[in-house]
Amino acid sequence: MTEKKLPHDHGQDFEKNFNHMPDICEFQTVSDIFKQLGDGSRIRIFWILCHCEECVMNLSALVDMSSPAVSHHLRHLKAGGLIVSRREGKEVYYKAAETEQVELLHHAIERLVKISCPSR
């Protein structure tokens, strides 16, 4: 970020404190991730996939939604890089991507709703 000189000096040393503020494109990345989680059902599916690898049929049963609805949410999560999939025969299995962003989101979700991992 280039150094900015503010029009009004309120004695807060803004320039010094915010010289390392990320560019807008970095904040846009965060916004795009949050958009992926803009639906409660999608967050729930994401949370489940942080704990296990599952197929669409089992996810549908877990969240009491139709397979097409779950598939819709999975497409969004996968497009956002939050989950990955693998094919085994005719079955496709999904799990959370192994990235720092996914780990942070997983922990944030648990802290925000005050739940804990099933294994704890």
User: Which CA distances in Å does 28 have to 45, 46, 61, 70?
Assistant: 23, 21, 34, 26
Burial of 45 (0-12, 13-18, 19+ CB in 10 A): buried
**Domains defined along the chain, listed by start:** 40-120 (1.10.10.10)
**Contact call for residues 46 and 82 (beta carbons, < 8 A):** yes
Per-residue model confidence as pLDDT tens for the chain (120 residues):
456 677 777 777 666 667 777 788 888 888 888 887 889 999 999 999 999 999 999 999 999 999 999 999 999 999 989 999 999 999 999 999 999 999 999 998 888 887 766 665
φ, ψ for residue 93, nearest 5 deg: -110, 140
What is the reported pTM? 0.78
User: Which CA distances in Å does 76 have to 6, 9, 28, 71, 81?
Assistant: 40, 45, 17, 9, 9
User: Which CA distances in Å does 60 have to 27, 63, 99?
Assistant: 33, 5, 25
